[in-house]
Amino acid sequence: AGGVAADAGGAALYDVVYDTVSGDNLIDRRYERELRPLLQPRGRYVTLNGTGFDFVAGVLKRVTGWDVQRRNFELFIGRQSGKDLATLAGLVDQGKVRPVVASVLPLDQESVTKGFDLLKSRRATGKIVFELDKE
């Protein structure tokens, strides 16, 4: 039980740590404090989820160029694009990208509850898909 750093190789230093797990609520664990020691001095800590301040600072940086965020920290804020989605769909159709699906469930109350429980468990490998009734 050496923690995240031990699981990641201990003293190894990385250019980037891309944290897709941490969250900013009472349930999710924040891994930044454990993961930062794995970074090289100029390494970047990138996360999908952050605090309210992180989101405001990220928008401020995008709009004005001012970076008020902590050192070597990036909050990934994606930009949605229909063109990008069409490109991805084409790659899937060509078999060049294969989506990983953890579970396909019918769209009903029991299955939605089951799907969200699986999602919250953080044990799903791939996406959880809810299938509409084909009738």
* Tens-place pLDDT, residues 103-135: 999 999 999 999 989 888 878 888 899 998 876
Q: Which residues contact 91 (CB under 8 A, 6 or more apart)?
A: 97
Q: What is the DSSP letter of 27?
A: S
Query: Coil, helix or strand for 29?
Result: coil
Confidence of residue 1 (pLDDT cuts 50, 70, 90): very low
Q: What is the mean pLDDT of residues 4-12?
A: 56
Q: In the prediction, which pLDDT does 12 show?
A: 64
Report which of residues 18 and 21 the model is more confident about.
Answer: 18
Q: Residue 26 pLDDT more than 70?
A: no
Q: In the prediction, which pLDDT does 129 show?
A: 93
Q: Which helix (H) or strand (E) holds 105?
A: strand 101-106
Q: Residue 97 pLDDT more than 70?
A: yes
Backbone angles phi and psi of 59, in degrees to 5: -65, -40
Q: Residue 2 pLDDT more than 80?
A: no
